[in-house]
Amino acid sequence: MATKRDLNINVHHMTRVEGHGNIVVDVKNGELKKAELEIVESPRFFESFLRGRPWDEAPYITSRICGICAVGHAQASINALEDALGVVPSEQTIKLRKLLFNAETMQSHWLHVFFLAAPDFFGAGSALELVGDKPEVVKMALRLKKLANDLGDMIAGRKVHPIAMKVNGFSILPSPQQLRDMRERLVAAREDMATTVDLLKTIEIPDFARETEYVALALDDEYAWISGDIRTTDGFHYDVHDYLKVTNERAVAHSTAKHCAHNRDSYMVGALARYNVNHEHLRPEAAEVAAALGLSPICTNPFMNSVAQVVEGVHCLEDSIDLIDQFLRDGLEEEPRDVSFRPGVGVGAAEVPRGILFHEYEIDDTGHITRANCIIPTGQNLANIELDLRALVPQVMDRDKEEITLLLEMLVRAYDPCISCSTHLLNVEFVD
Amino acid sequence: MKPKVGFFSFTSCEGCQLQVLNMEEQLLDIAGAIDLVTFREAMDPIDSDYDIAFVEGSISRESEITVLREMRRKADVVVALGACAASGCVNAIKNRFDSEENLREVYGDAARYYDTIDARPIDQVVNVDFYLRTCPITREEFARLFTSLLLARRPYDPNFAVCVECRMEENVCVYDMDAGEFCMGPVTRAGCGALCPTYGSSCIGCRGFMDQANFDSMVQVMQDHGMAREDAVNRLKMFNAALPEAEEVK
């Protein structure tokens, strides 16, 4: 009977994701006609209105693409500008940026794992509904999130739309006292991390797998966040300047949204992709957690993205303690941030919480931007999400509609989509 | 009875909703003092009726106008939640290009699928009762306004320059340091505690203009410190291109 079924699912403005999107699934006579994630966010035209702006405004403006990964956009923007201007930042600046990225990654991952994804696993509509049932968990989640935010504020002045991040350095430096206080809190958070891992062991991650290509920034000797080249689990390797060879944005027949594809029909970016590409460089504490939670390379279950986020959270916590120890040992010094201007083209990439992000600018000889391109992680994941939806629906067709809808929402949410960033995603007119 | 409160979002980065979620220490108290009915970024909706609407985002599509008017009709109090809603923020930079050109530049052949109009603050569409102006809102300004609403007191909304707060923070003036920064504190409405100058940067004007701002003098100061006139004018409009006062900045 199930094979002849009609099923029409339309989740309008799905909740607990960043930005506005709809899931539309149409099954006629047991045949899947349509499975799409439609992007209904207003277009914002950043790439168009960056034209004519002086180059130094780009990080201020582009961080406003996204509230959650504002630091990531600012960093990709700064990387692109430093590439264009031939600026080589100091070792201290690079370490501070890594510490700041740890803060952003933890903040974003905790928000997603505890507040956006977890309610599904506990059958609640929001984390607030869990307060009555599991007050300690909610308080712990808030504590971890606050710690990540405070770490970000300490370095960038403010994590949502950073103030102190500049081309060639930072406009403020944390004091030794701030570093010591922060170190103490990070060390104390190890206990909360252990609790989180134990909690995750009690959750049943949906059983689903689909082979695909995973793409991430990579370095030979460490887990890459703010530099490196592009590597994929299909064995490809590119300099970031060749990012367009990976993203290959194209229009597709079944959807009006542009999709990205490289060696297959789609690829995935984000925590799971980073884990699949870079797992050898995880800190030992994080590798242990991965093993304890059943995450092993190459993992092809997208629902495991939330688990990969927890693994990365442990990695970032340990890495932050290490970096702060280095700052306390070596001291932080004010460094000159002089930049000598030259016209040119620059490409910047960064592993923001949801995956690899690219910014490219062309700057003319008057110092104004003449062309800009931003390719964001959710845009790159869109084709992969839809292919997952198409693979998952037939496998669960015999369940009731409510259950299927929840599962599809959970699948999309597992990607932690950030729809506000949709500078390259197309709006869809659709008929019910 | 607890007021029913909804959070809504139009064209924005959703960073202001996120700043509310970032009030970790007060979040449970805030949620306890109200009847939270909708907050799409963090919860499934409970109710479609509300007394207070916190509205994030600019209006940049025809379809958003209809939805915003409906919100105004339902809510007793409408609050602009952050710079996108209060002043138009960076969304309005696009207004200097025509829509056709913006569409072509970003979406190429697919441009026909889009509905876009000049980005504008929400008070150019409906009456707004109160404003949270910073990009993104500060946790302090949210707490201040939220408390005032619960106590039925008139909220604090200063109408003087960021420079006043900057002095109170005992910062050395960015222009006295001549560090290559171009601060817009002298024309920008205070209320953020001069955050950016305090963190070694300069005011980028995100809170909109104070009344009777002297734009000519501001542009002159920026020129005196080495910025081209056209860039100075554009810098003043970076967050404020949709404000009526922006016409005076030439």
Report pLDDT for A40: 67
Say which CATH number the domain at B133 has. 3.40.50.700
- Distance between start and end Cα atoms, chain B: 51
- Nearest by CB: B90 against A16, A64, A67: A64
pLDDT score, position B180:
83
Nearest to A45 among B13, B15, B102 (CB): B102
Owning domain of residue B84: 4-151
50-109 of A, contacting B, C-beta below 8 A = 51-54, 57, 60-61, 64-68, 70
Of B10, B17, B195, the CB nearest to A42: B10
Is B129 in the same domain as B220?
no
**Rounded to an integer, what distance in angstroms lies between the CA atom of residue A220 and that of residue A74?**
25
| A40-64 as b/e: b if 16+ CB within 10 A | bbbbbbbbbbbbbbbbbbbbbbbbb
| Interchain CB contact of B135 with A (< 8 Å) | yes
Residues B134 and B189 in one domain: no
Query: Quick one: B131 and B204 in the same domain?
Result: no
In chain A, domain spans: 43-403
One domain, residues B68 and B116: yes
Please answer yes or no on whether B199 and A166 come within 8 Å at the CB atom: no
B197 and B96 belong to one structural domain: no
Is B249 an 8 Å CB contact of chain A? no
B172 and B143 together in one domain: no
- Please say which residue of B151, B173, B204 terminates a domain: B151
A256 CB neighbours in chain B (<8 A) are 110, 113
For residue B58, being part of any structural domain is answered with: yes
Q: Print pLDDT tens along chain B (250 aa).
A: 899 999 999 999 889 999 998 998 898 899 899 998 888 766 666 667 899 999 999 999 888 999 999 999 999 999 999 999 999 999 999 888 777 777 677 666 666 556 778 999 999 999 999 999 999 999 999 999 999 999 999 999 999 999 999 999 999 999 998 778 899 999 999 999 999 999 999 999 999 999 999 999 999 999 999 999 999 999 999 999 999 999 888 8
Beta strands in chain B (DSSP E): 4-9, 35-39, 52-56, 77-81, 130-132
Identify whether the C-beta of residue B234 lies closer than 8 Å to the C-beta of residue B112. Answer: no
Q: Is B10 on the interface with A (CB under 8 A)?
A: yes
The Cα of A311 is separated from the nearest Cα of chain B by a number of Å equal to 22
Q: What is the dihedral of CA A372, A381, A94, A61, to 10 degrees?
A: 40
Check if B196 contacts A (Cβ < 8 Å).
Answer: yes
Chain A positions in Cβ-Cβ contact with residue B10 (cut-off 8 Å)? 42
Low-confidence ranges of chain A (pLDDT < 50): 1-2, 422-432
In a domain, B156, yes or no: no
Residues B123 and B205 in one domain: no
H or E element at residue A362: strand A355-363
CATH superfamily of A43-403: Cytochrome-c3 Hydrogenase, chain B (1.10.645.10)
Domain boundary at B130, B151, B172, which?
Answer: B151
CB A266 within 8 A of CB A204: no
Which residues from A are below 8 Å from B105, CB to CB?
A: 45, 47-48, 51
**How far is residue A412's CA from residue A21's CA, in Å, rounded to a whole number?**
10
Sheet order of strands, B52-56 included: B35-39, B4-9, B52-56, B77-81, B130-132
Tokens read off for A74: 């600012």
φ/ψ (deg, to 5) at B27: -60, -45
> Is the same domain home to B130 and B40?
yes
Q: Contact A305/A417 with Cβ under 8 angstroms?
A: no
pTM: 0.94
Residue B157 lies in a domain: no
Instruction: Decide: B18 and B136 in contact? Cβ < 8 Å.
Output: yes
- Domain-located, residue B238: yes
Residues of B in contact with A111 (CB under 8 A): 18, 21
Tokens 């190459």 identify what position?
A298
- A218 - beta bridge partners? A229
Maximum C-alpha span of chain A: 72
| Cα A388 to Cα A407: distance, rounded to the nearest angstrom | 12
ipTM of the complex: 0.94
- Do residues A357 and A132 make contact, with C-beta atoms less than 8 angstroms apart? no
Shortest distance, CA B49 to any CA of chain A (angstroms): 18
Is B250 domain-assigned? no
Q: Report the distance separating Cα B111 and Cα B101, nearest Å.
A: 10
Residue B129 lies in a domain: yes
3-state secondary structure of A19: coil
| A351 in Cβ contact with A219 (< 8 Å) | no
- Find the helix packing angle between A176-201 and A135-156, rounded to 10°: 150
Measuring CA to CA, which residue among B188, B175, B185 is closest to residue B223? B175
Q: For residues B117 and B207, state if they share a domain.
A: no
Cβ separation A64–B196 shorter than 8 A: no
In a domain, B61, yes or no: yes
Structural domains counted in chain B: 2
Please write the tens of the pLDDT for every residue from A123-161: 777 777 777 778 888 889 999 999 999 999 999 999 899
B55 vs B16: CA distance, rounded Å: 10
Query: A322: buried, middle or exposed (CB in 10 Å: 19+, 13-18, 0-12)?
Result: middle
Can you tell me the distance from the alpha carbon of A280 to that of A220, in angstroms, rounded to the nearest whole number?
Answer: 10
Count A/B contacts: CB-CB distance under 8 Å: 183
Q: What are the tokens at B247?
A: 């016409």
Q: What's the token pair of residue B192?
A: 């953020």
Say yes or no: B96 contacts chain A, CB-CB below 8 A: yes
What is the model's pLDDT at position A29? 86
What is the per-residue pLDDT for A424? 36
- Whether residues B94 and A45 touch (CB distance < 8 A) is answered with yes
Calculate the alpha carbon distances from A297 to A279, A280, A294 in Å: 7, 10, 10
Q: Which of B95, B126, B151 is the last residue of a domain?
A: B151
How many angstroms separate the CA of residue B152 from the nearest CA in chain A? 26
**Is B44 a member of any domain?**
yes
Query: Min CA distance, B190 vs chain A (Å)?
Result: 17
Contacts of B115 in chain A (CB under 8 A): 427
- For chain B, say whether A154 makes contact (Cβ under 8 Å): no
Under a CB-based contact definition with an 8 Å cutoff, are residues B230 and B203 in contact? no
- The angle, 0 to 180 degrees and rounded to 10, between the axes of the packed helices A176-201 and A305-330 is 160
**DSSP class of A180:** H
Minimal-distance CA residue of chain B relative to A166: B201
Q: Are residues B119 and B176 in the same domain?
A: no
| A166 CB within 8 Å of a chain B CB | yes
In this structure, are B125 and B196 located in the same domain?
no
Q: Rounded to whole angstroms, what are the CA distances from A48 to A358, A373, B108?
A: 16, 9, 11
Q: How many CA atoms lie within 13 A of B165 on its CB side?
A: 19
Query: Looking at the complex, does the CB of residue B28 fall below 8 Å from at least one CB of chain A?
Result: yes
Strand partners for B209: B188
- B36 & B143 share domain: yes
The DSSP letter of residue A264 is S
Q: Among all residues of chain A, which has the CA nearest to that of B181?
A: A56
All residues of chain A having their beta carbon less than 8 Å from the beta carbon of residue B17 are: 67
CA–CA min distance A163, chain B (Å):
6
Say yes or no: A363 contacts chain B, CB-CB below 8 A: no
CB atoms near residue A132 (< 10 Å): 9
